[in-house]
Amino acid sequence: MTARLLLVEDNRAYVENLREIFEELGHEVRSVGSCSQALEVGRAWVQVALVDLKLPDGDGTTLAIKLKNENPDCEVILLTGHASVESAAEAVRAGVWAYLIKPTPVPDLLSTLDKAVRHVQAQQEKRELARRAQVAEKLAAVGTLTAGLSHEIRNPLNAAGLQLSVLERRLRKLEPSIQAPLLEPLTLVRDEIRRLEHILQDFLQFARPLHLSPRPLPLGPVLEKVIAFIGTDAERRKVKLEADIGQASAVLGDGDQLRQVFMNLLLNAFDATREGGHVKLSVEQQPTTIEVHVDDDGPGVPVEQLDRIFEPFFTTKSTGSGLGLPITHTIITQHGGTMSVSRSPLGGARFTVSLPRAPHQS
């Protein structure tokens, strides 16, 4: 079981020693030498932090409390050269996972770490399952409501549109000099009615249960089509759109639905970058899955919003619907895949879609 580990220790030699051991085991390791640097990395990234008790700008116990405040799922292992009953008691009060005395025998350190990692990952999995169940429930409720409401609105709207064209025909029979001032507001009303019809269409599409027709589908052409389709948007918005699709293998899926997924993610990435921004679509083949990353160099998703962005109608945009990510999430879940958000190597947000690979055809 590999994890993201943060080493907070100002003894360089000791850090390098631990880093080597942990990286050998496949863990992802970051190291810093002070409390303030630890809090910078800390946030959502870290799963287990190994923290020295005495740091140049503070003590490890206080840091443990702050790290756990920002990231309740993470666990802290305190390391100290000079154990005392007071510091141990304080560590327990701070809710640290373990309190070890340096130099700790490597097998002891590793078994403590292993237990902490298992605990953190079980905790995160539980939270993710609860979140998904909550989103699914909310989606179902919202779906029923919007479908009902949209149908109810549609009928009077159709009637109004029809009466409006009757009115227009009658107006056009009048003297041209009185026609113009009457036609102008009429045109405005007609445009607004059209706009409402569009919105209703979006809502209905969202509310309609998805009908998937899954078949073995090479992902490459799906992604290429999306890139071709969306390229003009990128140009118009002066965003540099890069694609590294390679030899993406096949998934079991529905082409139309998957295109919608990557359109949504790319449009969000465009929205997040400024003019001259950078957006990248890339594919990573894993043994049983294919991962597609959508990266941008925008501001990223603030930690406190990470839990909310998949909720229907959650949006931070003045013209957003807040339906893009919930739709995307539903489609991916129906494909047996998963979605996650992290920090992009480009500096902004990274949305990763992971889809099971199609079984080989014989």
CA distances from 27 to 3, 227, 325 (A): 5, 35, 30
Residue nearest to ligand ADP (CB): 324
| Cα–Cα distance measured from residue 245 to residue 292, given in angstroms and rounded to the nearest whole number | 9
Residue 268 touches Mg ion, criterion: CB under 5 A: yes
Beta carbon nearer to Mg ion, 22 or 203: 203
Residue 322 touches ligand ADP, criterion: CB under 6 A: yes
240 binds, among ligand ADP, Mg ion, none (CB under 5 to 8 A by kind): none
Amino acid letter for position 309: I
* Tokens 């969202």 belong to residue: 206
Residues in the chain: 362
Among 206, 298, 352, 354, binds ligand ADP (CB under 6 A): 298
Residues contacting ligand ADP: total by CB under 6 A:
21
Q: Give the nearest distance from C-beta 259 to ligand ADP in angstroms.
A: 15
Q: Are 142 and 318 in contact, with CB atoms under 8 Å apart?
A: no
| Cα–Cα distance measured from residue 259 to residue 271, given in angstroms and rounded to the nearest whole number | 18
Beta carbon nearer to ligand ADP, 97 or 206: 206
45 binds, among ligand ADP, Mg ion, none (CB under 5 to 8 A by kind): none
The span of 23-31, 122-130, 252-260, 265-273 binding Mg ion (CB under 5 A) equals: 265-273
Instruction: Centre a 10 Å sphere on the Cβ of residue 181 and count the other Cβ atoms it contains.
Output: 8
Amino acid letter for position 265: L
Paired sense of beta strands 58-59 and 54-55, if any: antiparallel
Residue 240 touches ligand ADP, criterion: CB under 6 A: no
Q: Give the nearest distance from C-beta 271 to Mg ion in angstroms.
A: 7
Give the CA count within 13 Å in the CB-facing half-sphere of 20: 6
Residue 320 touches ligand ADP, criterion: CB under 6 A: yes
Residues contacting residue 80 through CB under 8 Å, at least 6 positions apart: 52, 53, 54, 60, 87, 99, 100, 101, 102
Q: Give the nearest distance from C-beta 241 to ligand ADP in angstroms.
A: 13
Residue 309 touches ligand ADP, criterion: CB under 6 A: yes
Residue 347 touches ligand ADP, criterion: CB under 6 A: no
CA distances from 357 to 245, 252, 262 (A): 15, 7, 17
Edge-first strand order for the sheet with 4-8 is: 28-32, 4-8, 48-52, 75-80, 98-101
Beta carbon nearer to ligand ADP, 48 or 349: 349
Residue 269 touches ligand ADP, criterion: CB under 6 A: yes
Q: Give the nearest distance from C-beta 272 to ligand ADP in angstroms.
A: 3
Residue 326 touches Mg ion, criterion: CB under 5 A: no
Residue 324 touches Mg ion, criterion: CB under 5 A: yes
Instruction: Centre a 10 Å sphere on the Cβ of residue 264 and count the other Cβ atoms it contains.
Output: 20
| Cα–Cα distance measured from residue 153 to residue 160, given in angstroms and rounded to the nearest whole number | 11
Q: Which of residues 68-97 bind ligand ADP (CB under 6 A)?
A: none
User: Using CB under 5 A as the criterion, which residues of the chain lie in contact with Mg ion when the complex forms?
Assistant: 268, 324
User: Using CB under 6 A as the criterion, which residues of the chain lie in contact with ligand ADP when the complex forms?
Assistant: 264, 268-269, 272, 296, 298, 300-301, 309, 314-317, 320-325, 348-349
